[in-house]
């Protein structure tokens, strides 16, 4: 993947969608102007799409230029083959830049296929995804952290279906600090090592932004925590798995890479359109032994 696109992946999916208008950077070597898409649809929820331009690796970034990357006037459509909805563009301060396209009519249903179409400046982008059946947690609990009495370690247990290949993603929301679910560290996984079995996983809290220098992997005791277990299609897993692999291999989000992060967006674009079959568990962060 070209260096010009590397920054986009680390910022976009850390809630700092990075890119800017292509005419600002036409003279940047090896820079190929593209759209950047992150879209999803969950069971019993409306579709959401984030849409920006990408930016050259060495471009200057500040709050003003970041806001310029928002694509406000695209026609974003989602269809399940029977019903079609044009999503509404709106300000949403839970993201940065604070602009999303969101539906309010077409809710996700398990097993259905959803087509995303983006039309802007004479260019059309397309993608398809499905919503797999969700998996419920068998158990969710907190354990004490040695020598620290203000935070707790989150653990989950669930059982994989042996009859099919499964892919998972886990995210959490802390009621006092988050407005949306944040993917956990290395949140994407497949069932290669636990096919058809019950598995226990220690959940490390993910950062709100990968621009942060330090990450708190534990959860504040006494706070309400929502834990989401999502199943997703293979293409979604391949994207997120490679993305998290780059995060782990490159501690600095501005570091270059020659790795190619896959995309399922057809057209001059980077990113992912993904269906999620999700189940949510709510509990208070309190260690079992306290």
- Residues 162-176: tens digit of each pLDDT: 999 999 999 999 999
- For residue 43, list its beta bridge partners: 108
Is position 289 within any domain? no
Q: Is residue 54 part of a domain?
A: yes
Angle at 289 (CA atoms; ends 284, 290), nearest 5 degrees: 65
Domain residue limits at 167? 137-231+279-284
Q: Which of 169, 137, 173 is nearest to 155 (CA)?
A: 137
- Give the pLDDT confidence score for residue 259 in this predicted structure: 60
Residue 109 within any structural domain of the chain: yes
* Residues 46 and 67 grouped into a single domain: yes
Same structural domain, 145 and 98? no
**Does some domain include residue 227?**
yes
* Burial status of residue 149 (CB atoms within 10 A of its CB: 0-12, 13-18, 19 or more): exposed
Q: How confident is the model at residue 95 (pLDDT cuts 50, 70, 90)?
A: confident
In-domain check, residue 56: yes
Residues 119, 25 share a domain: yes
- Do 193 and 149 share a domain, yes or no? yes
243 and 188 in a common domain:
no
CATH number at residue 166: 2.60.40
212 plus 73 within the same structural domain: no
> What is d(CA 273, CA 35) in angstroms, rounded to the nearest whole number?
13
Same structural domain for residues 270 and 209? no
CA 249 – CA 255 distance, rounded (Å): 10
How many domains does the structure of the chain reveal? 2
| 256 within a domain of the structure (yes/no) | yes
| First-residue to last-residue Cα distance in the chain | 49
117 and 142 fall within a common domain:
no
Whole-number Cα distances in Å, 223 to 39, 142, 201, 286:
29, 12, 21, 8
Tell me whether residue 290 is in a domain.
no
Using alpha carbons, select from 123, 97, 111 the residue that is nearest to residue 41. Answer: 111
Query: Are 179 and 36 in a shared domain?
Result: no
Q: For residue 191, give both structure tokens.
A: 């069932």
The pLDDT score that the predictor gives to residue 229 is 98
For 47-51, 97-101, 220-224, which range has the lowest pLDDT when averaged over its residues? 97-101
- Please check whether residues 115 and 188 belong to one and the same domain: no
**pLDDT score for 109:** 98
Asked if 45 and 123 sit in the same domain, the reply is yes
| Sign of the CA dihedral with 183 first, then 15, 128, and 264 last | negative
Binned at pLDDT 50, 70 and 90, residue 185 comes out as confident
pLDDT (tens digit, 9 = 90+) per residue, 8-60? 433 343 333 333 333 333 444 566 778 999 999 999 999 999 999 876 665 66
Q: Are residues 44 and 147 in the same domain?
A: no
């Amino acid at each position: 993947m070209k260096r010009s696109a590397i920054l986009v992946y680390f910022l976009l999916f850390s809630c700092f969608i990075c890119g800017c208008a292509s005419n600002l950077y036409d003279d940047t070597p090896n820079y190929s102007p593209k759209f950047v898409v992150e879209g999803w649809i969950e069971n019993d929820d409306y579709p959401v799409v984030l849409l920006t331009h990408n930016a050259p690796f060495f471009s200057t970034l500040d709050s003003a230029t970041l806001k310029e990357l928002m694509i406000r006037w695209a026609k974003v459509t989602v269809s399940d083959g029977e019903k079609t909805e044009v999503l509404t563009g709106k300000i949403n301060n839970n993201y940065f830049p604070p602009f999303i396209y969101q539906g309010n009519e077409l809710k996700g249903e398990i097993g259905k296929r959803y087509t995303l179409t983006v039309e802007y400046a004479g260019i059309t982008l397309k993608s398809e995804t499905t919503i797999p059946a969700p998996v419920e947690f068998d158990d969710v609990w907190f354990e004490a952290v040695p020598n620290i009495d203000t935070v707790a370690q989150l653990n989950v247990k669930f059982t994989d279906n042996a009859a099919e290949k499964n892919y998972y993603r886990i995210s959490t929301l802390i009621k006092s600090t988050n407005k949306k679910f944040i993917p956990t560290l290395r949140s994407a996984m497949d069932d290669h090592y636990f096919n058809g079995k019950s598995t226990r996983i220690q959940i490390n809290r993910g950062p709100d932004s990968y621009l942060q220098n330090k990450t708190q992997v534990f959860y504040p005791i006494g706070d309400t925590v929502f834990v989401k277990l999502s199943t997703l299609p293979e293409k979604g897993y391949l994207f997120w798995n490679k993305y998290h692999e780059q995060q782990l291999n490159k501690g600095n989000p501005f570091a270059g890479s020659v790795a190619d992060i896959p995309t399922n967006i057809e057209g001059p674009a980077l990113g992912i359109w993904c269906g999620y079959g999700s189940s949510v568990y709510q509990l208070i962060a309190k260690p079992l032994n306290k």
